[in-house]
Amino acid sequence: MRITIVTGGSLGDLQPYLALGLGLQQAGHVVKLVVFTNQARQEFISRWGLECVCMDLHAEEFSTEPFWKWFHPNPFYIFNNIRSVLQPLEDSYLFKLLDLCQGAEAIILSQFSLLGYDIIEKLGVPCYAACIPPISPTGAFPNPAAPIELRLGGIYNRLTYFLFDRFLWRSVRQPINRWRQEVLKLTPTAWWLSPVHRLHQQKLPFLYGYSPSLLPKPSEWPDWLHVTGYWFMDCPENWQPPVDLVDFIAIGSPPVYVAGRGLTEEELKLVLSAIAQTGQRCILQVPGELTGENSLSEDFDLSDKVFKLSEWVPFDWLFPQMAALVHHGGAGTLAYGVRSGIPSITIPSGDDRFFWAHRVAELGLSPKPILPHQLSTKRLADAIRLATNDKSMQARAEAMGRKIQAENGVVRAIEAFHRHLPNKV
């Protein structure tokens, strides 16, 4: 079967779909991954032996820090900014996607590409939603994009899904409907019939790539909503770690890993100062061609207790050798950290990062998240000491790691994919 997976975003956003695509390919399908990202990431994906087509739509706009800071207390601010970015994509994104989906016998859309659902309606092929954050309404927890600190019960939780979905749909409904009428020759959709709403209304299968051990499936969700477990990329067999990195890890106590992407140099100095106060060693992952476009200035001073890592290294090899992680709370980084059984100190900056950061803290697997405006040397140093010295927290993290290691999210996702295929396909 010819399957097209459509997604985008940063390297961490793409890796679960690469894992899912490789699993489907190994199950005998012909898989094409259509991504809106940069050329370096397309080449990275292609090296794994999966066909990858890059839609060069300046994808960094969707994954860099300024964009996620648009999630602002003023809803009109959010509305204007989302509309200003998404509406110009009507011609470039939708026309390219229509062309690239021709010939597919099934199409899988991520949370980044659900606006392409109208194309699937036109083509008449089986459709699946494959998402990392939960976007199906439930009373168990709020929409991951909603304020997580508000504990207002099931009615509020359900309402957050409705409001966020309709708000986003309102931002792009006019150009999408124009596209439906003029290009696809379909009737326009009403204000309440967003792609997410239609997917649920038609009971199309959702594959959620997060762990049910970390966030159990809500009891009211039907059987066509699947929480499969994480879709992990395992370390390539022919990959060899950098010798200097191996030597650095070996000469002392387990270091603290710091993800530098999304942090300014001033914030990085603060983070490194906090780590120095704790006496810990550090591996600093700095943005490079794959992980981001910004890098440290040449005169950025690092002590001999800090190893600067600028190349891609498999997290499943690196993280089990760390004492703790300091990062932005992204679902991908956090997933590898939880599977490795070590605590994360999160500095969440937007989208679903607050949701996952609060969840691991709620389960006692990590210290409480530090919001960017709360970040200080003392606060971070205290969190690092807690993560590296609290035996109870470490034991809980190790126990959760064992549970997630026993899951096989890719296999479960493929089983669910086959279960929902129409008989005629």
| Residue 122 within any structural domain of the chain | yes
Same domain flag for 217 and 296? no
What is the per-residue pLDDT for 284?
93
Residue 64 has pLDDT above 70, yes or no: no
Give percent of the chain with pLDDT exceeding 70: 85
- Determine the Cα–Cα distance for residues 37 and 39; give it in Å rounded to an integer: 7
Give the pLDDT confidence score for residue 80 in this predicted structure: 57
CATH code, domain carrying 187: 3.40.50.2000
Q: Which residue has the higher pLDDT, 98 or 215?
A: 215
Q: How many domains does the chain have?
A: 2
Residues 376 and 415 grouped into a single domain:
no
Residue 413 sits in the same domain as residue 395: no
Query: pLDDT tens, 351-367?
Result: 788 999 999 999 999 99
Specify whether the CB–CB gap between 349 and 69 falls below 8 A.
yes
* C-alpha–C-alpha distance, residues 21 and 18, integer Å: 5
d(CA 267, CA 300): 12
Whether residue 47 sits in one domain with residue 188: yes
Q: Which residues pair with 324 in a beta bridge?
A: 256
Indicate whether 425 belongs to any domain. no
Q: Domain for residue 424, yes or no?
A: no
176 and 311 housed in the same domain? no
Same-domain check for residues 145 and 6: yes
Q: Which two tokens stand for residue 336?
A: 């590898």
Distance CA 340, CA 320 (A): 5
Q: Examine the domain organization and report whether 259 and 201 are in the same domain.
A: no
More confident residue, 88 or 52: 52
| Residue 153: per-residue pLDDT | 84
Same domain, 412 and 388: no
User: Looking at the structure, do residues 411 and 343 belong to the same domain, yes or no?
Assistant: no
- Residues 193 and 271 grouped into a single domain: no
Say if residue 280 is in the same domain as residue 377.
Answer: yes
> Residue 123: what pLDDT?
92
Average pLDDT over residues 234-263: 90
Query: In this structure, is residue 153 part of a structural domain?
Result: yes
Same structural domain, 352 and 363: yes
Per-residue pLDDT band for 82 (boundaries 50, 70, 90) equals: low
Is residue 89 a part of any domain in this protein?
Answer: yes
**Eight-state DSSP code of residue 181:** I
Contact status, residue 327 vs residue 268, Cβ threshold 8 Å? no
Q: Is a pLDDT exceeding 90 seen at residue 275?
A: yes
pLDDT higher than threshold 50 for residue 416: yes
Residue 72: per-residue pLDDT: 46
Range of the domain at 302: 243-406
Per-residue burial over 120-155, b if 16 or more Cβ lie within 10 Å, else e, is bbebebbbbbbbbbbbbbbbebbbbbbebeeeeeee
The answer to whether position 346 is within a domain reads yes
Tell me, yes or no, whether 295 lies in a domain: yes
- Grade residue 296 by pLDDT with cuts at 50, 70 and 90: low
- Per-residue pLDDT tens for 138-172? 999 999 987 777 678 889 999 999 988 888 888 78
Residue 69 pLDDT > 60:
no
Residue 162 lies in a domain: yes
Whole-angstrom distance, CA of residue 399 vs CA of residue 89: 45
